[in-house]
Each structure stands twice: as structure tokens, then as C-alpha cells.
Amino acid sequence: MLAGMTSYEAIVQYGKERGWEFLKLLGFTSRRGLCKATYSRVFRRIDVTDFEARVGQWIQGRLGPSDAPHIAIDGKTARGSRDGDTPGVHLVSAYAPEVKAVLAQLRVDAKTNEHKAALELLGVLPLKGKVVSGDAMFTHRDVCATVIEGGGDYVLPVKENQPTLAKDIAAAFAEPEAGLSPPPGGAAPGRDRAGFRGRQGARPGREAVDRGHIVARRVPGFGLARLRAGLPPDAGAADG
């Protein structure tokens, strides 16, 4: 099948053309290999979910702690899986680009269930020290919390469907307006009122910078997102 043999007839012919030495390397005990009917019976009896879980465990067992620092979560419909009125097979996969391997995947009924499937995947993957990425469909509070609880970090985009979060992030990284006076309260130049060094002055209409935005500047992209996830602003910052 890896060589493009997608029918039982093609699989049987592929083995015959390569001879007994090839079949023996694959574990066959008969020089004739298997017939089409036997392949059909074997494949029908396979528990797909159990098979995929075992393959994923085998791949993860062969990886060292630093072999797959990045895990990409994404959902795709398998090409050619649609059959008439029967919709195609939609899968949510956890892919490790550095080793070019799918660590785990789940089948979902529709794209609207990708969020739930991603949570299930994150629950079985080793996340400690990993960076999880995905598209905006996975930018949810529970997804972020699951990654942090597993000892990892995340990089997720924010789009127009989350306008409040998008505005908060834009405000955190906005350039200061020219001609602003030093912050009130006699704070030393180059420091905000909480005592953290920074290049930005006080923002218009705000006399103090709250703790959450300070963390967001210190750890770009993580502190603010964690606040939105309902987590402490500096949770896990030392591990990142």
C-alpha cells in the first residue's frame, strides 16, 4: 500500500513479482504469499482505532525527549475517501515536522468536532517541553489550558471571530504615541510602576500597567493568551 498498491489484486501481484526472499523479509511462511480473499478477511477484522493507537505508541516509543519539540494539530479530509453520498473520512492529526511522523490521529464526523478531537489527542500525547501549534479553530481556552497542564506551550492565531481577544493583543503590542509625558507617581525613567524595565511609556488614559500586560510583554504571545485562558499570567514562564 505504501508503494501505491490500493487494491487486493495489486497487493498480491506486487508480492509475487518480488519473489520469495521479499515475502520472507515481511514474515510470510508460504512461498506463494496470501491470496486476495485472505487479505480481504484480515483487513475487515482490524480494529482501526486500536491499530492506529498501537502505531502511534510505537512511533512515540522510538522518539527521544528532544526529537519532536514541535507538534502541529490539524484536521484534513482523506483524499479519495468520499464514496457517492457517503462523506469523506475527516481526521484530526498530531504531526511532528522534525521527524515527519503522525504521532496520533482521530476520526471525526465533521469539522465542527475538530475542537473536541484535539482535546482527546492532547490528552494522550507527551506535551512536556513541546510547542503545540494549530489554526484558529483550536484557539480555545480549554485547549490552551490542556497544553499548559501537560508542561508545554502553544502558538495559536487569533482572528476576527474573537474580536475582544484580538483587540487585547493589539493593544499589548501597540507602539506608544509620540510626545507622551512620563508616567505619574515619579516612576524612574525606563521603568513602569510595577518596577519592570521596558521601552514603552504609559499608554493614553491609563496611569498604571496591570500585571497581565507586563507578563505579555516579557513573554510575547504567551502571558496574555494564558490570562485569556483563565490561568495565572506567569504560570509556566520559568519552564518556557
Domain extents in the chain: 1-45, 48-157, 159-240
Alpha helices by DSSP H, listed for the chain, are 8-25, 36-45, 48-61, 114-124, 141-149, 163-172, 211-218, 223-228
Q: Given this model, what pLDDT does residue 207 score?
A: 42
pLDDT over 60 at 185, yes or no: no
Q: What class is the 48-157 domain?
A: alpha beta
pLDDT over 50 at 227, yes or no: no
Identify the sign of the CA torsion 169, 170, 176, 181.
negative
Cβ-count burial of 154 within 10 angstroms (0-12 exposed, 13-18 middle, 19+ buried)? buried
- The SS3 of residue 108 is strand
pLDDT over 90 at 223, yes or no: no
Alpha carbons 114 and 218: distance in angstroms, whole number? 32
Quote the percentage of the chain above a pLDDT of 90. Answer: 25
Alpha carbons 207 and 210: distance in angstroms, whole number? 10
**Mean confidence (pLDDT) of the chain:** 77
Closest CA to 103 of 87, 114, 92, 89: 92
Residue 181: band (very low, low, confident or very high) from pLDDT cuts 50, 70, 90: low
pLDDT over 70 at 52, yes or no: yes
pLDDT over 50 at 216, yes or no: no
DSSP of 31-77: TT---HHHHHHHHHH--HHHHHHHHHHHHHHT--TTS--EEEEEEEE
Q: Given this model, what pLDDT does residue 182 score?
A: 57
Question: What digits encode the pLDDT tens for the residues 81-115?
Answer: 777 877 788 889 999 988 888 888 888 876 668 88
For the segment 5-19, the average pLDDT, to the nearest whole number, is 90
